[in-house]
Amino acid sequence: MNISERLGIKFYKEQVEQFLIDKGKQTEEALHQYLGQLQCPGPGLIEAMEYSLFAGGKRLRPALVLGSAEIFEGDIPKVMPSACAIEMIHTYSLIHDDLPALDNDDFRRGKPTLHKVYGEAVALLAGDGLLTLAFELLASTGNADVVAEVARSAGVNGMVGGQYLDIRAEGQKITIETLQEIHRKKTGALICASLRCGALLSNASSEGLYAITEYGKHLGLAFQIVDDILNVTGDEKTLGKPVGSDKEHNKSTYPAILGLAQAQELALEQTHKAIRALDCLGEKAEIFRQLAIYMLSRNR
Amino acid sequence: MNISERLGIKFYKEQVEQFLIDKGKQTEEALHQYLGQLQCPGPGLIEAMEYSLFAGGKRLRPALVLGSAEIFEGDIPKVMPSACAIEMIHTYSLIHDDLPALDNDDFRRGKPTLHKVYGEAVALLAGDGLLTLAFELLASTGNADVVAEVARSAGVNGMVGGQYLDIRAEGQKITIETLQEIHRKKTGALICASLRCGALLSNASSEGLYAITEYGKHLGLAFQIVDDILNVTGDEKTLGKPVGSDKEHNKSTYPAILGLAQAQELALEQTHKAIRALDCLGEKAEIFRQLAIYMLSRNR
């Protein structure tokens, strides 16, 4: 399937790669700075947080915060704390998900998971520490709306709730609607919040805020469908985690419910909707159109 | 030892009990309201959060928030979200502490711990959910300083850091200074933050804020020493948890390091300092003087 042709948009892969590299670098510099400022409560805890924070993540969420701020002509230093905060929340969720009490995963991005290296107690606390530090950083923006936005997206009506629904659904036969609800909460909410934080901190108009939110909803859904597809068709080495683990955990996935071909169609459709949502934002939103195609055609 | 006599202050026990009952009731009503407003992501998660939130806690921290606001003539509805938020953070910390990865406790306040009833996965997520909901509530005050205050006190330089130091110290011989650092972080920081939130949201003067902070530091320390003492001398039924568990877990405690008599002296000394810190606040801080004596003479 030539994605670019089917969407009717020329795809500049290198442009997106450069965008992600740039935003990733900026984010990692800031993350190092924030972590470096912490008074260490004894060796080990900060190292554990760093182990997971710098384990080769794609930095998608910070790139969405920073990219959104650029679209709305915001100030990058002003939004950087929330970009880092959201990456910390994403990281804490992976640490807790990997614990034996939940997914019991031994590898993540090709490296042993945190609890495999530092033990379960430290992994639990490193996750708690990252989540709490995230809110300290968000508070430093001085904007309580941004704190509320992220808290809602990460909480029981967002990520934590999605994670809960996900474990309840294991081994159950669920509908495509339930699967979509799980993913809207589990990954979609924080992706949306990333875009909205960048916009809110850049004083976006309500029309702009609406557009970027719609983009986020469809991008988040497409992102998860592709994740599910890669868990079936991907290359273990490229992915950095075992292929087929969803099936092994008896997880409902898009390919499992819809079949592979229809899941790919749905991902394309959601990508198309994401791109269309940006229409009113014109040329300055081009990088996000490209990013949507990139996310659809990624192999990890 | 007649505590009241040694401190030179008449002790009105019933007055403190009534204060705690009143603040506890107000807090529990508000907690029920906040939890009731959540869209349930499927049965079980909210129930699990409620199981721990309404498991018979003393509601000390909310009482400190609300009492502090009263001293500084603040508006109770305005501070209630942060009172509830801090109780949620306290509760999440107990849930995660009790998990097999940390203390592996089967009972808390005379009831089976959350993971014993709902399983480890739900307990982990219920804790994450409470911590995140707390920050949503704190953000609803519109005051980013209050969010930052609580995040600092609960994070790696506060509660999480103290918990980390605590597990590292298990089975080690530590000095009284290290023990004090652990407790300053593990329990003292959130107690201080409770008092400071009430004051900050009531526009306390910097002198008032300083006084209430000093009170909190000494109260928090006295509180922990008494906790340690009760773990040796207390009655299992009254406490609702096994006596002697600290010794069993090989934990350093005040009685273990100082001996019982000197630990009791230190608790008295810290209570005295807490009371003296309130001098500049005059008569309106009387309930907090009484509370300090009450906390010293409690049996659970």
By C-alpha distance, the chain B residue nearest A127 is: B128
Question: Do the beta carbons of residue B185 and residue B161 sit within 8 Å?
Answer: yes
Report d(CA B167, CA B160) in Å as an integer: 11
Give B127's contacts in chain A (Cβ within 8 Å): 128
Give A145's contacts in chain B (Cβ within 8 Å): 139
Q: Which of A278, A215, A291 is nearest to A59 (CA)?
A: A291
What spatial distance separates the first Cα and last Cα of chain B, rounded to whole Å?
18
Interface test with A, best of B135, B178, B185, B190 (most A CBs within 10 A): B135
Burial A231-243 (b: 16+ CB within 10 A, else e): bbebeeeebbbeb
CB-nearest to A147 from B125, B133, B147 is B147
What share of chain A has pLDDT > 90, as a percent? 81
DSSP B264-283: HHHHHHHHHHHHHHTGGGGG
Helix, strand, or coil (residue B128) = helix
Give B125's contacts in chain A (Cβ within 8 Å): 96, 160, 163-164, 167
Query: In the prediction, which pLDDT does A1 show?
Result: 53
By C-alpha distance, the chain B residue nearest A146 is: B139
Number of structural domains found in chain A: 1
pLDDT above 60: residue A15: yes
Looking at the complex, report in whole angstroms how far the Cα of residue B38 sits from the nearest Cα belonging to chain A: 7
Is position A243 within any domain?
A: yes
What share of chain A has pLDDT > 70, as a percent? 98
A135 and B147 in contact by Cβ < 8 A? yes
Q: How many CB atoms lie within 10 A of CB B71?
A: 24
Looking at the complex, report in whole angstroms how far the Cα of residue B20 sits from the nearest Cα belonging to chain A: 28
Model pTM score: 0.95
Give A179's contacts in chain B (Cβ within 8 Å): none
DSSP lists the bridge partners of residue B108 as: B111
Looking at the complex, report in whole angstroms how far the Cα of residue A49 sits from the nearest Cα belonging to chain B: 10
Report d(CA B6, CA A92) in Å as an integer: 49
Report d(CA A159, CA B132) in Å as an integer: 10
Q: Specify the CATH number for the domain of residue B169.
A: 1.10.600.10
CB-nearest to B136 from A99, A151, A164 is A151
* Chain centroid to CA A103: 18
By C-alpha distance, the chain A residue nearest B152 is: A136
Give B185's contacts in chain A (Cβ within 8 Å): 41
Tokens in use for A104? 């019991």
> Does the CA dihedral A268-A272-A273-A274 come out positive or negative?
positive
Tokens in use for A210? 């609406």
Tokens in use for B287? 């309930």
Per-residue pLDDT, averaged over A88-97, amounts to 98
B168 and A124 in contact by Cβ < 8 A? no
Per-residue pLDDT, averaged over B18-28, amounts to 98
CB-nearest to B45 from A45, A96, A164 is A164
Looking at the complex, report in whole angstroms how far the Cα of residue A210 sits from the nearest Cα belonging to chain B: 22
For tokens 């001996």, the residue is: B259
* Position B243, amino acid: V
Question: Do the beta carbons of residue A241 and residue A108 sit within 8 Å?
Answer: yes
ipTM of this complex prediction, to 2 decimal places? 0.95
* Position A213, amino acid: T
Is position A188 within any domain?
A: yes
Looking at the complex, report in whole angstroms how far the Cα of residue A9 sits from the nearest Cα belonging to chain B: 38
pLDDT (tens digit per residue) in B33-50? 999 998 777 779 999 999
Query: In the prediction, which pLDDT does A299 show?
Result: 79
pLDDT (tens digit per residue) in B143-200? 999 999 999 999 999 999 999 999 999 888 899 999 999 999 999 999 999 999 999 9
Angle between the N-to-C axes of helices A159-169 and A76-98, in degrees from 0 to 180, rounded to the nearest 10: 20
How does strand A111-112 pair with strand A107-108?
Answer: antiparallel
A136 and B125 in contact by Cβ < 8 A? no
Domain encompassing residue A29 = 10-297
Count Cβ–Cβ pairs < 8 Å, chain A vs chain B. Answer: 160
Is position A2 within any domain?
A: no
Query: In the prediction, which pLDDT does B3 show?
Result: 81
Question: Do the beta carbons of residue B232 and residue B102 sit within 8 Å?
Answer: no
B46 and A131 in contact by Cβ < 8 A? no
What share of chain B has pLDDT > 70, as a percent? 98
Give B39's contacts in chain A (Cβ within 8 Å): 157
* Position A33, amino acid: Q
